Amino acid sequence: MNKKETATLFTLIFLPPILLLLSRYFLPSNYLFSSLYKVTFLFPFFYYLILEKKTFKQIYKENLSTKTFKQNWKKMALIGISLAVIYLGTFFFLKGFLDLSTVIEKLQALASINTTNIIFIGIYIIVINSFLEELFWRAFLFKKMKENIGNASYFITGLAFSFHHIMFYYDWFTLPFFLLVTIGLSIYAIIMNYLFNKYQDLYSCWFVHAIVDTTQIFIALIIFGII
């Protein structure tokens, strides 16, 4: 175990949620400022390029495989769709227990998300944000944590991924619903960790994540009454 590297990784685990929480209270309420914490997701490039002296080509070969994705895209699509169905089914099953007007108010107050910009923000979340999260949480944090602490990294980074999102919605729901969402996010993250560990391919994880995020935006469109 590299103790210095492990300490750095644990610090990075808590950095995004802390920055997200701070942005909620000290920065203007719009999506741009509420997303500034995501610059931390670019840290893997700094780590690999500066500290490990690797080239972009080496980074690409270690984490992305076009060949692997071509071989497994149908399987990834099935996994992504399955997760999306569970996500969508859970929403419709519990929809009656949610105060959707409160959710809308929170989204508008926190990130200025509304019926005018939700499509553009949705495209960003599906295409770009999903890649940045997979780069940071799977191809960097999980990968490096597994090298240092073994299988415990599945659960630690899974909970950390959930904790990162908790900082966005922690005051939106009642405690039971909050716990359900948190557990669901943790399980999702552990599944994504497993996929990355098995295939060592960021394309595959990105594809699955994008499918799930598409469902998330679909639900947001329902909440806002657009569809």
Q: Give this prediction's pTM.
A: 0.90
What confidence category does residue 1 fall into, taking pLDDT thresholds of 50, 70 and 90?
low
The string of DSSP codes covering 72-114 is HHHHHHHHHHHHHHHHHHHHHHHGGGS-HHHHHHHHHHHH---
pLDDT above 70: percentage of residues in the chain: 96
User: First and final CA of the chain: distance in angstroms?
Assistant: 51
- In angstroms, what CA-CA distances link 110 with 2, 28, 41, 114, 179? 39, 9, 21, 11, 21
* Residues of the chain by 3-state class (helix, strand, coil), percent to 5: 85, 0, 15
pLDDT tens digits, one per residue of 183-199: 999 999 999 999 999 99
pLDDT tens digits, one per residue of 150-193: 999 999 999 999 988 887 777 777 788 888 888 999 999 999 99
pLDDT tens digits, one per residue of 59-116: 888 899 999 999 999 999 999 999 999 999 998 888 877 777 877 887 777 667 778 8
